[in-house]
Structure 1
Amino acid sequence: MAHDHHDHDHEHSELSDTQLRVRALETVLSEKGYIDPKALDAIVEAYETKIGPRNGAAVVAKAWTDPAFKAALLEDASKAVATLGHVSRVGDHLVAVENTPATHNMVVCTLCSCYPWEVLGLPPIWYKSAPYRSRVVKDPRGVLADFGMTLPKETEIRVWDSTAETRFIVLPMRPAGTDGWSEEQLAEIVTRDSMIGTGQPKKP
């Protein structure tokens, strides 16, 4: 199993420069009493829920409105996302998987914390938790129920396991009632959890 361990060493080395800077800054500023940890939480939350996911949300919104882009995204997500120009380096091989009435996709990383933070922001704490990782493989429907999401029995649930080499973004279904919306309006309803597959876009 030695080689397997080696493959997953990257979770330590691959914290991006930004994440390392943010963490180092957090520690120093908290220790020196410059910032209230609560204020810090707000900064981290901005990264988790606003900056990273906005990139992913823009990708989803464009795929919803532009059939050619959607086709390109499903064919080669890294290349398609790069054409938008607002993501420096999107996890080397980003793969987009599309939710349909017949299939719901969820992303998990059973061995590590591989996560395309450039498009999804910082991973939510539960994403890295062992119970989520092990349960989602055995009982994805139960995990979805815990997140308040019930799917029709006939919907197949596929669980994709991210690795260092391949990361996934879920293309959620476009909600009804959004006809004629601009990409900006659509991007507003795309949530981080909908791009991992543990949630839906917000209701219009």
Structure 2
Amino acid sequence: MDHDDSHNHNYEHEGHDHDHHDASSPQVRVEALEELLVQKGLADRARIDATIGRYEHDIGPMIGAQLVAHAWTDPVLRQRLLTDADAVVAELDVRGAEIEHIEVKANEPGVHNVVVCTLCSCYPWALLGLPPNWYKSPEYRARAVREPRAVLAEMGLELDTDTEVRVWDSSSETRFLVLPERPAGTQGWSAAQLATLVGRDSMIGVALATSPQAD
């Protein structure tokens, strides 16, 4: 289901603080369970942190970034990715959680795509790693649909007023990946070089791919 930014969804405003510390929240319960396991000697905090870091920075985002970079350099692959991402992912032998059905939405001049999961936090782990805390927050899940331009601006992405914003609502049946626009000034770059410009947030749609001129 996609929404443009003219839709008005009847959600309560959750405020601007992305860190929610309600005792019943999944994050708090997980942290409490981790602390208990560590105290009892059943888990090693360093190994837990290393595993989380690997999913956040290596396993997931880089796989998605490499996929985007190849799409930038191969028009045939790009079109196949937009029409049947599942087949492409299977051919590349990408395996892991929450990629049973993937749809890829391409940014282009005048069109910007954003991904959210309004019901929970459905997210293509095998391509992007672990979802960031803000993606799971009630505020993002509500406001990204209701007022996407405002949310993007607060996250540092100011779009032209004539740019159409399309919001894609992930579910247990379908997860989405944004194909960001290729940055200018990258003609002749290899796929490996281009992949370094693709961050997790650009594949969710809350940021652009990094410009090669950026510090």
Taking structure 1 as the reference length, what is the TM-score of the superposition?
A: 0.81
Verify: 1:104 aligned to 2:112, yes or no. Answer: yes
1:29 offset after TM fit, Å? 6.5
RCO comparison, higher one (Cα < 8 Å, 6+): 2
* In 1, Cα distance between equivalents of 2:84 and 2:76: 12
Question: Percent same amino acid among aligned pairs?
Answer: 53
1:48 to 51, 56, 60: 56
Structure 1, unmatched stretches of 5+, are 1-22
SS across alignment from 1:150: coil
Verify the 8 A CA contact 2:95 2:126 in the aligned structure 1: yes
AA at the equivalent of 1:191: G
* In 2, Cα distance between equivalents of 1:29 and 1:167: 32
1:87 to 95, 101, 108: 95
Q: Which runs of 4+ in 1 moved over 4 A?
A: 26-29, 33-37
1:42 offset after TM fit, Å? 4.7
AA at the equivalent of 2:138: A
1:157 to 152, 160, 165: 165
1:124 to 122, 125, 132: 132
Residue aligning to 1:195: 203
AA at the equivalent of 1:141: R
Residue aligning to 2:13: none
Residue aligning to 1:66: 74
Verify: 1:175 aligned to 2:183, yes or no. Answer: yes
What's the C-alpha RMSD, in Å, of the aligned pairs? Answer: 2.2
SS across alignment from 1:189: coil
1:30-77 deviation digits (Å, cap 9, x = unpaired): 33297456x744541221122111111111001000000000000011
Residue aligning to 1:135: 143
SS across alignment from 2:192: helix
Corresponding pairs, count: 180
* In 2, Cα distance between equivalents of 1:89 and 1:138: 28
1:92 offset after TM fit, Å? 1.3
* In 2, Cα distance between equivalents of 1:168 and 1:27: 33
Residue aligning to 1:147: 155
1:78 to 65, 86, 91: 86
1:81-139 deviation digits (Å, cap 9, x = unpaired): 22222435761110000001111000000001211100010000110100001010111
Structure 2, unmatched stretches of 5+, are 1-30
Q: 1:90 to 1:137 in 2, by over 3 A?
A: closer
Verify the 8 A CA contact 2:111 2:166 in the aligned structure 1: yes
Larger helix proportion, structure 1 or 2?
1
Q: 1:84 to 1:90 in 2, by over 3 A?
A: farther
Map residues 12-51 of structure 1 onto 2, 5 A cutoff. 30-31=38-39, 32=41, 35-36=44-45, 40-51=48-59
